[in-house]
Structure 1
Amino acid sequence: MSAPLQGIRVFDLSRILAGPTATQILGDLGADVIKIERPGQGDDTRKWGPPFVKDAEGKNTTESGYYLSVNRNKRSVTLDIAQPEGQEIAKRLIAKSDIFVENFKVGDMAKYNLAYEQIKYDFPRLIYCSITGFGQTGPYAHRAGYDFLAQGMGGIMSVTGDPSTPPVKIGVAATDIITGIYATTGILAALHHRTASGRGQYIDMSLLDSQVSYLANIGLHYLTSGEVPKRLGNEHPNIVPYSVVKCADGFFILAVGNDSQFEKFCSFAGMPDWAKDPRFATNPARVQNRVVLYEMINKVTVQHPQKHWIEGLEALSVPCGPVNNVDQVFADPQVLHRNMKISMPYPAAASGHVDLIGSPLKLSETPVDYRLAPPTCGQDTDTVLREMLYLSDDDLRSLREKNVI
């Protein structure tokens, strides 16, 4: 079975997280991703550690866990696009590519003669995706953008965390990742359009736009009611009980979604009268009386261990579950069954392999393909330039002496 994007080539001038997330997804789907990195520097995240991969002597390599997270299924080529000769090589590689992904600040690509407006007529079939903090237009366009800033400016921090503490960001760089996923969606749509029309196009992605988009129901809470949503900790603004509750040996998640599930919970908890109490009989009533209901629930749930609640409620189809640490996640039988933890050969590591997070995409006819572990910086430079541009050993030697590659 061939991968869905086999034969598609990506010129990847992105780094950090949002762009590399998009290009890793494309690589998993079979695209040939050529990751362009600065000679002697590479992607900034290579140095974002610890932790780093350990070699056979127990020493740190130059590959951080952060870098490994979004750079499999790529080939690394070092190229200095600040030099005219590097720009010429870049254009020759772009000429043989279908997709160009970059996440430089607005205007930076023009300095290197690689902006979309500068090359679109030479490469009319090219799909060019730019990822920035605030997009190519608007009053903030020229500002540098980072996930943390987008979370703050885009409203998600205002509804995250306990109301008694300062606003809290999400524990992973969710805005970067979601922007990368949206970028992939746009790129795939543009590929489909090109199949029909023969024309490429420009995709303008913004961290702030993406952040605002995933306010979702919280954003609509405000747009529908005019009420500004507040931080509720682990609670849900529209459903009760839907939170972390106490048990004898810690906590568990109770996620009641309807009145029938609440009645089943009450019966199992030995409190059937709660479901008949006018304060709690319907979800709107429970939302209005959330404080007293959560106090009552916690006084009951703390009397039994987590296992009692999860096994008993699951048998009744009442949604519930544990709050896992990351080590528990990667030991979970469901996570392992779904191949969300994978291992790939990696000669630089002492073990000869690295563990990575698998793709959530499960395609029946064209499954994702884990072909290449995250590359070391520039490991494929000679191979790619020989293969795509037919450069000789003398050509490569000359470029290396001039620090172009």
Structure 2
Amino acid sequence: YCTKILADHGADVIKVESAGRPDPTRFAPFMHLSRGPHTDPNTNGYFNEVNRNKRSIALDTRTADGITVLRELIAHCDVLVENFSSTVMRKLGLDYEELRRINPGLVYVSMSGMGHTGPRNGWVSYADTVSAGGGLTALTGWGPDDVVGVIYGHGDIVAGLQAALATVAALEHRSLTGRGQHIDLSQLEAVAAHMGTSLLGGPEVTPAGNTHPSWSPQGVYRCLGADRWLAVSVRDDTEWAGLCEVIGRPELATDERTSTADARRDAMGLVDAVLGEWTRTLPADVAAEALQAHGVPAGAVQDGRELVEHDPQLRARGFYVRKEHPVAGAFLHEGVPIRLTRTPGAIREAAPVLGADTDVVLEEVAGFSAERVRQLREAGVLR
């Protein structure tokens, strides 16, 4: 995700993969590493989404020759990004202290789960474990005895955003001083730093479903249709009055049982019943439009298909971009959410087929001769 952001904004990102063990997210289902004889490493939707705009080279990193090729490539690059646990690159002879000798200007970005220092620096982790360890999982669920994990790799994305920012900052520092540096990013710390005001409540902060400590009502209400829902947040009494007007119950705006946020929290059974009775008669989009027209924050709960195929806001802004993949075919990619007027990012190319750019990268970037590339390929070092 870090290098996706950098690539979207113009970086030439070279994805280096082991020829014997490619990026496991190339395979579907990617977490199961299923690699039967007919498994194609180029058709996984997740991989192709986050690796657009990149080039791919495949090396046999189990051999000394493969590591030598990688070292020579790194010597000609500005940035190295890796997210192994803290000991892996050192065992390969590719730690920062070693690589700075061949490339003093290198910006070396490490994104391990725990960081490269501390008693747990060697721990292996994934997004779910850092979300749990960083405090996020403790806040998700319906109560302290009904905690649920975050369903996708939120910790990965948070760390990727932090790493992309750190990379740009380090490159700016290098432009002023000529010196590279090591960025030691802990995914655990990235998630913990992302927790915001939730940490201020101390140990008494527990999962509370969809409710809010001061806004009322806040929740998700069933709408017309199968599994259709509306999210609503009422921040003050003025918005509550607007909601009461929309649902045809204006008297509840001044009713002592519901006129204040504290009163509404005490009467949540009544509030939920009245609001739910209204939402069940309407499509979620229609209900959201009606409430928004009166200044009430509301929105339909959408899944991935609805976002891509039906959301009018994303469609109007051209968020999804069609690109043709040489193996997977044409599909829509998430767009670039940051829109700069002078230097806009773009989705230039679909994700690379495994090893598609090995020869051209080694010749153009690392200065290898065509003959040397041929010899390495014949020796099985390159794919």
Query: Helix, strand or coil for the counterpart of 1:205?
Result: strand
Q: Does 1:81 align with 2:45?
A: no
Structure 1 residues 197 and 288 mapped into 2: Cα distance closer, same or farther (>3 Å)? farther
Letter in 2 for 1:386: E
Does the CA contact (< 8 Å) of 2:19 and 2:61 recur in 1?
A: no
Q: Does 1:377 align with 2:354?
A: yes
Give the equivalent residue in structure 2 for 1:129: 109
Q: Does 1:297 align with 2:275?
A: yes
Give the equivalent residue in structure 2 for 1:231: 207
Give the equivalent residue in structure 2 for 1:343: 322
Count of residue pairs the alignment pairs up: 372
How far apart, in 2, do the equivalents of 1:387 and 1:151 lie? 40
How far apart, in 2, do the equivalents of 1:50 and 1:131 lie? 20
Q: How many percent identity over aligned positions?
A: 35
After superposition, give the CA deviation of every residue in 1:3-53 in whole Å (9 maximum; x if it has no partner): xxxxxxxxxxxxxxxxxx1011111110111111101432111113389xx
How far apart, in 1, do the equivalents of 2:374 and 2:281 lie? 73
Does the CA contact (< 8 Å) of 1:82 and 1:112 recur in 2?
A: no
Letter in 2 for 1:348: V
How far the C-alpha of 1:84 sits from its partner, in A, is 2.6
Letter in 2 for 1:335: L
How far apart, in 1, do the equivalents of 2:30 and 2:179 lie? 44
Match of 2:217 among 241, 244, 262: 241
RMSD: 2.4
How far apart, in 1, do the equivalents of 2:279 and 2:61 lie? 61
Structure 1 residues 307 and 66 mapped into 2: Cα distance closer, same or farther (>3 Å)? closer
Structure 1 residues 285 and 194 mapped into 2: Cα distance closer, same or farther (>3 Å)? farther
Letter in 2 for 1:251: W
Does the CA contact (< 8 Å) of 1:27 and 1:73 recur in 2?
A: yes
How far the C-alpha of 1:293 sits from its partner, in A, is 3.5
Give the equivalent residue in structure 2 for 1:324: 302
How far apart, in 1, do the equivalents of 2:30 and 2:93 lie? 36
Q: How does 1:2-401 map to 2 (within 5 A)?
A: 21-49=1-29, 61-63=40-42, 64-163=44-143, 166-220=146-200, 222=201, 226-249=202-225, 250-278=228-256, 280-283=258-261, 285-287=263-265, 290=268, 293-302=271-280, 306=284, 309-331=287-309, 332-349=311-328, 352-401=329-378
How far the C-alpha of 1:105 sits from its partner, in A, is 1.4
Structure 1 residues 27 and 301 mapped into 2: Cα distance closer, same or farther (>3 Å)? closer
Query: Helix, strand or coil for the counterpart of 1:76?
Result: strand
The alignment's TM-score, normalised by the length of structure 2, stands at 0.89
How far apart, in 2, do the equivalents of 1:341 and 1:49 lie? 24
Query: Helix, strand or coil for the counterpart of 1:245?
Result: strand
Structure 1 residues 305 and 74 mapped into 2: Cα distance closer, same or farther (>3 Å)? closer
Letter in 2 for 1:259: D
Query: Helix, strand or coil for the counterpart of 2:57?
Result: strand
Does the CA contact (< 8 Å) of 1:130 and 1:204 recur in 2?
A: yes
After superposition, give the CA deviation of every residue in 1:224-263 in whole Å (9 maximum; x if it has no partner): xx34222222222332212112345443111222322112
Structure 1 residues 166 and 355 mapped into 2: Cα distance closer, same or farther (>3 Å)? same
> Deviating runs (4+, > 6 A) in structure 1?
none
How far the C-alpha of 1:292 sits from its partner, in A, is 5.1
**Which has the larger displacement, 365-374 or 336-345?**
336-345
After superposition, give the CA deviation of every residue in 1:300-341 in whole Å (9 maximum; x if it has no partner): 544555455323212212111211122111121211222322
How far apart, in 2, do the equivalents of 1:186 and 1:288 lie? 46
How far apart, in 2, do the equivalents of 1:84 and 1:50 lie? 29
Does the CA contact (< 8 Å) of 2:230 and 2:279 recur in 1?
A: no
Give the equivalent residue in structure 2 for 1:7: none
Structure 1 unmatched ranges of 5 or more: 1-20, 52-58
Structure 1 residues 91 and 303 mapped into 2: Cα distance closer, same or farther (>3 Å)? closer
Structure 2 unmatched ranges of 5 or more: 32-37
Query: Helix, strand or coil for the counterpart of 1:81?
Result: coil
How far the C-alpha of 1:136 sits from its partner, in A, is 0.9
Does the CA contact (< 8 Å) of 1:310 and 1:320 recur in 2?
A: yes
After superposition, give the CA deviation of every residue in 1:193-234 in whole Å (9 maximum; x if it has no partner): 2222222111111221122122212222x2xxx342222222
Letter in 1 for 2:112: T
How far the C-alpha of 1:161 sits from its partner, in A, is 2.5
How far the C-alpha of 1:282 sits from its partner, in A, is 3.8
Does the CA contact (< 8 Å) of 2:321 and 2:335 recur in 1?
A: yes
The alignment's TM-score, normalised by the length of structure 1, stands at 0.84
